[in-house]
Structure 1
Amino acid sequence: MRKLVIAISMLALAASAAFADPILDRQALMKERGKIVGGLSKVVKGEEPFDAAAVLTQLQALQANAEKFDVEALFPKGTDTGDTTAAPKIWEDMAGFKATEDKYLADVKAAVAAAPADVDALKTQIGTIGSDCGTCHQGYRVKKG
C-alpha cells in the first residue's frame, strides 16, 4: 500500500510539472523581481527612507527570486512563441543567457552578504544589479511595440 501511495504521489507530481506553463512561470518571476527592485529603487531615489533591516529583507527576497530562476525549466525549446518577450537569442545562445543570469544571481548574493549600511552603499549595489538587468533585457528580450 505504501509503495502505491508513493507511486501515485510521484505520478501526480510529474503530471503537475508537465502541465506547468514555463512562459507564465517566468513572467511571474520577472514581475516579482521588478516589484522588489522597484521598492529598492524608491529607497535609492529618496522616495522612501532608508531602513537597513527592510532593505536587507528586500535583497533577500530578490535572492530567493533569482534562485528560483531555473533557465532550463523556464526556457525549454518551443517556448519562444506565444505571449512572450523572450528573444530568439536565448535559445541561440543558451550558454550566454545562463552566464548572464548567473552573474545577476552572484551580484544579488553579494549585495545580501554585504548588507548595505546606508543609502549610498545601496545605490552602488542597485547600480550593479540594474546593469545586470539591462544587459539581459538588451540582449535577450524583444522590446514591446
Structure 2
Amino acid sequence: MSANTRGSMIPTTAVIVAMAFGVAAVTAQSDPIAARQALMKTNGKQAKLGSDMIRGKVPFALDNAKAIFLSFIDAANKMPNLFPENSKTGGDTSAAPEIWANMDDFKARFAKLAADSKAALETVKDRESFTAAYRNVNRTCDGCHEHYRVKKS
C-alpha cells in the first residue's frame, strides 16, 4: 500500500468508527434495554474469560487481562445512561424496579465499578495480581446484581 493510499484510509476509517459510535448512540436512545443487554453480554464474556484465566482453563495473557478491565470501564461509563424512565418495563429485561427508586445509589455503583476497574488495570502485572484485582472487581459486580437484577427462575 502506498503512502498516499494509507493517508486516505485514515480519514475513511475515522468516519466509519464515528458512524459506528453514532449508530450505537441512536440504538441506546431508541432501545436502551437492548443496548444495556448488549453491554452486559460483552461483560459476561469478559468475566468468563477472567474466571477461566484464574482457574487455568485458558493461559493467562496480560493483554486479555487488561482488555477485561477496559471492557468493564467502558460498560460502567455507559450503563448509567441506559436506564431512562421509559425503560422500566417492556422487552425482556431483568432490571429490578429498585433501580429507578434508588438511581443515585445505582449510578454510584457504576462509578465504583469504573474506579475499581481502573485501579485493577493499573496494578495487574501477572496472574497473581490479576486474580486479586479481578475478584475485587467481581465483588463490585455481584453487589449491584444482588440489589438491582431480578433473579429469573
Q: TM-score range by the shorter chain?
A: 0.7 to 0.9
Residue 91 of structure 1: CA displacement?
A: 0.4
Q: Which residue of 2 aligns with 1:102?
A: 111
Q: Indicate the SS of the match to 1:87.
A: coil
Task: Name the count of aligned residue pairs.
Answer: 129
Q: Which residue of 2 aligns with 1:21?
A: 31
Q: 2:60 aligns with which of 50, 72, 82?
A: 50
Displacement over 3 Å in runs of 4+: 16-19
Gaps of 5+ in 1: 1-12
Q: Indicate the SS of the match to 1:68.
A: helix
Instruction: Give the TM-score of the pair, scaled to structure 1.
Output: 0.80
Superposed, which structure 2 residues align to 1:97-136 within 5 Å? 97-114=106-123, 116-136=124-144
Q: What CA RMSD, in Å, does the superposition of the two structures yield over aligned residues?
A: 2.1
Q: Residue 141 in 1 paired to residue 142 in 2?
A: no
Q: 1:85 aligns with which of 80, 94, 100?
A: 94
Q: Indicate the SS of the match to 2:30.
A: coil
Provide the rounded CA distance (Å) in 2 between the counterparts of 1:19 and 1:31.
Answer: 18
Q: Indicate the SS of the match to 1:49.
A: coil
| The structure with more helix, counted as a fraction of residues | 2
Q: Which residue of 2 aligns with 1:3?
A: none
Query: Larger RCO: Structure 1 or Structure 2 (Cα < 8 Å, ≥ 6 residues apart)?
Result: 1
Q: Which residue of 2 aligns with 1:32?
A: 42
